[in-house]
Chains A and B, each alone.
Chain A
Amino acid sequence: MAEIDNNQSGDTRRDFLKKTSLFTALSLTPLTVLKAADNKVDERFAELFEKIPLNLKVNNKPYTLKVEPRVTLLDLLREQLHLTGTKKGCDYGQCGACTIHIDGVRVNSCLSLAVMNEGKSITTIEGLAKGDELHPMQAAFIKHDGFQCGYCTPGQIMSAVACVREGHANSKDEIREYMSGNICRCGAYPNIVDAIQEVKEGGKAI
């Protein structure tokens, strides 16, 4: 949680606002916020000023947003941009279901705060196919039945694409190692390995 929290006093939000305002940005902070904080008018009012501007690209589409600093990139995608292909499996960076690409690198989006991604270019599972033409990795997952329930699948595929691009798909054992950050509880691993190997051996740039 990015929320400043202190259970003893219970009103640290106001303290925080006052301190940051007074010491760092007094002239920039609207007087109304300070008043609201001082008078304990209503946090519902104060919080409106706690959103951070954020510009990023998702699947080549630019977004201009204002988000609370505590919002994870995963929750931003799912709850605010309604790009629900990226899945929440644990929220602790332990399962890989939320794997996306940030500037081409695979990342667990639950471990990245949205506001850390200013100016970044993000690719999610929704951005992988070209129109109706599936990405070769998506097609290979279907061909090799690299999934059952399908919930870990977007994360597996995003990870698999990166695994090949990184040059970590040179053998089955290497694939297994570099795909072990993506858990599949249905147990489709051998099929996932087959799919990745086929794409790798297909030799096409992906």
Chain B
Amino acid sequence: MEFFVDENDRVDGVDKVTGKAKYFAEYQLPGLTYGVLVTSTITKGKITAIDTKAAKNAPGVLEVLSHLNKPSVAGYEQAGGSPMKIFYTDQIFFNGQPIAIVVADTFERATFAASLVKVSYEKAAFNTNFEASIKDAAVKKLQGQPPYVRGIADAYKTAEVKVEQIYTMPVETHNPMELHGIIADWQANDKVTVYAKTQGVKSTQNTIANVFKIPAENIQVNSQFVGGGFGMALRTWPLEIAAIMASKQLKKPVKLVITRDQMFTMVGNRPAAYQKIGLGATKDGKITGITHTAFGQTATYENFTEGVVNMSKFMYDSENVNTNYYVIPLDMGVPIWMRGPGEATGAFALESAIDEMAHALDMDPLDFRAKNDPEKDPAQNRPFSSKYIKEAYKLGAAKIGWNNRKNKPGSTIEGSWNIGYGVSIGVFNAGRGRASVKGILKADGTLILQSATSDIGPGTGTGMTLIASKLMNIPVEKIVFELGDSSLPPAPSQGGSATLSTVGSAVNDVCVALKATIAELAANSNMDATSNFVDVLKKNNLPIIEKTIQSSQNNPEAKNYSMYSFSIHFVQVKVHQLTGVVKVSKIVSVGDAGKIVSPKTARSQMVGGAVGGIGMALTEEAILDNRYGRYVNNNFADYHVPVNADVPDIDVIFIDKPDPIVNPMGAKGMGEIALIGFAGAVANAVFNATGKRIRSLPITPDKVLEG
């Protein structure tokens, strides 16, 4: 089925719109069995007994595994390592912790049997209350990141004009549409094939190798299509190990797909945050001090930190900056990076405070930002590889109609709605790792590219195909990019907005190598140097030529530059005077991310980030009942992600100028900046609309009315 109206269409578009695209749970294996997890109903303590008799006698049940009868797992027998060794402990670390797996011949039977497992516990006192823990926190004992000081600490306190405020946000959950899980098929001779939902097939392979102490080459990880990740599939979770254990024990393939409510507890989250920003400026609007102190959240059994305070160190020109970042251990599942990760958390606080300062100075927030825009990276004292922030301000402001904005809040009213405009910056490291790509040129005119990278949605295959198409002058429909298979040449996990930069560089390098080989063959066979590769292969009687290239990690010049992607989000909001409802009515997101390789998918990624930002700003909040340590809104009816009616048309503008340093394409990553800063823009727009400064996400109507 070929259907290309446009070379920029997704290469896997037809598979996705016809239902042919196979996600992990959709592989049919002979003798497939179904696993269902039994989870802890207490928050902390220990398991004293598990009665599996009724479950084991239920129809179709093949096995019930728990810490009482699990098979030996070599990596878990050793001391140390991950403290959350599933089925290797009777300890309960959080509510909803997987403690047993029931395997049956059908999903329904496994689900029913799991309900028959009776667990007894010895409860212990627990703490899941983030807010209360901040107040009690003995800062010196907390982990986090080392304090950062440039110039004088807390210089804002003596500034002519100062802003000192606290910004908070709750736990958010990734909630990709595809439920997490795995199919594990343990075969003879300690070989295992898994169909996984992962952002990194090599990472999954390595984790399984380490846990089961078998050679990596014995482990085949397949993950061609992933139904969204947003960070939660950046690690192999204990539940996946449980399914592999069960398959090993039963000598049958086991499929485990967790439930939506389990998606809230056992596969990470964006941790809650409490941030204090102190900003000092001169009366004419020059920033003289930034202090950013942040508290994040981690688990008692494992540590998690992220870059919440990073942006504050270099985004604005200030002689004096100091940051502190601590994490509070709670009796909850360990967090994991969620799109934009800590930077998105930090940007909400910093960009709100910047807006507050602009207001205190009676300056336009864009002018205030422009005035404090650093020429060089003030933290590293080196130039940016490329940065077109001021141009982005102009383009975005013109598009949204920034001149309609009145600096005095509450000035624009349409009927029963107050109208406001807000802006915020997002920034994220333009990372580049090292990947290998194999390129196979065939005499039939096709090019096959292979790399063990992933596509959780951004369009990896599409981007890589476009890079190769331009370099090789081969139409996209003649190029196949294979990914999501651990047996392909290695690539890092898809995270941190680095895939296009990392894998794209290797695609570039392999194409350059293939072209050189063709040119050499052409020369040796007395053909014109510009001859078509098909003719060259035919003349040389070669059915294929192939090259595998590991890309260099970075341009040697890179160490002399700070490399970041930037975004500027402009929003218009309408705030209803009687109900306090906030509607985002216009969005213009400007991406300063170097050369845009795949315009259509890049635009979609920016659109998607803005949609995620609407959720972060207005609706998303995983609410925990601290009396029980359980989420009370662990489903899509109660945890509100944006739906279609929440989202207006979105304008995306790209600067689209190549970065000269980062990689051969000149393209910087975009996945994170699409979301980073967006919530701040909404909060700032709500202030502009109403004069009410909401410093606690999400901005729900109750806060607007109360504010």
| Contacts from A to B (Cβ < 8 Å) | 1, 3, 5, 10, 43-44, 46-47, 68, 70-71, 75, 78-79, 82-92, 94-95, 97, 124-126, 128-129, 132, 134, 138-139, 141-143, 145, 147-154, 157, 172-173, 175-177, 179-193
Is A187 a contact of B177 with CB atoms below 8 Å? no
Known contacts A126-B18, A185-B175; A191 and B607 CB within 8 A of each other = yes
Contact indicator per residue, chain B 183-216, by CB within 8 Å of chain A (1) or not (0): 0000000000000000000000000000000000
Question: Looking at chain B, what size class is its interface with the partner chain?
Answer: 35 or more
Is A148 a contact of B458 with CB atoms below 8 Å? yes
Contact indicator per residue, chain B 601-612, by CB within 8 Å of chain A (1) or not (0): 101110111111
Query: Do most interface residues of chain A lie in helix, strand or loop, or is the interface mixed?
Result: loop
Cβ of B269 to closest chain A Cβ, rounded Å:
14
**B residues 20-36 in Cβ contact with A at 8 Å:** 20-23, 25-26, 28
Is B26 a contact of A84 with CB atoms below 8 Å? yes
Is B177 a contact of A148 with CB atoms below 8 Å? no
Is A125 a contact of B112 with CB atoms below 8 Å? no
Q: How far is the CA of A185 from the CA of B14 in the complex (A)?
A: 20
Query: Do most interface residues of chain B lie in helix, strand or loop, or is the interface mixed?
Result: loop
Is B3 a contact of A139 with CB atoms below 8 Å? yes
Q: How far is the CA of A149 from the CA of B227 in the complex (A)?
A: 5
| Contacts from B to A (Cβ < 8 Å) | 1, 3, 5-6, 9-10, 12-23, 25-26, 28, 54, 57-60, 106-108, 111-112, 115, 175-179, 225-230, 257, 259-260, 456-459, 600-601, 603-605, 607-612, 635-637, 641-645, 647-650
Most chain B CB within a 10 A radius of its CB, from A86, A189, A192 = A189
Is B10 a contact of A149 with CB atoms below 8 Å? no
Known contacts A85-B18, A149-B176; A190 and B636 CB within 8 A of each other = no
Is B228 a contact of A177 with CB atoms below 8 Å? no
Residue of B nearest to A88 (CB): B179
Is A189 a contact of B177 with CB atoms below 8 Å? no
Cβ of B473 to closest chain A Cβ, rounded Å:
24
Known contacts A150-B225, A185-B177, A186-B608; A84 and B22 CB within 8 A of each other = yes
Partner of B176, one of A46, A86, A185: A185
Q: How far is the CA of A90 from the CA of B258 in the complex (A)?
A: 10
Known contacts A177-B645, A187-B608, A190-B649; A149 and B9 CB within 8 A of each other = no
Is B643 a contact of A187 with CB atoms below 8 Å? no
Most chain B CB within a 10 A radius of its CB, from A75, A89, A124, A193 = A89
Contacts of B457 in A (CB 8 A): 148-150, 186
Is A145 a contact of B10 with CB atoms below 8 Å? yes
Partner of B17, one of A10, A138, A188, A190: A138
Is B607 a contact of A149 with CB atoms below 8 Å? no
Is B59 a contact of A148 with CB atoms below 8 Å? no
Is A92 a contact of B611 with CB atoms below 8 Å? no
Residue of A nearest to B23 (CB): A151
Contacts of B608 in A (CB 8 A): 148, 186-188
Is A187 a contact of B644 with CB atoms below 8 Å? no
Is A134 a contact of B260 with CB atoms below 8 Å? no
Cβ of A45 to closest chain B Cβ, rounded Å:
9
Q: How far is the CA of A91 from the CA of B108 in the complex (A)?
A: 13
10 closest A-B pairs by beta carbon, nearest first, are: A85-B19, A187-B611, A151-B227, A150-B16, A149-B457, A187-B608, A148-B457, A84-B26, A94-B636, A125-B19
Partner of A87, one of B5, B227, B635: B227
Contacts of B57 in A (CB 8 A): 43
Is B177 a contact of A149 with CB atoms below 8 Å? yes
Q: How far is the CA of A173 from the CA of B646 in the complex (A)?
A: 10
Contacts of B612 in A (CB 8 A): 185, 187
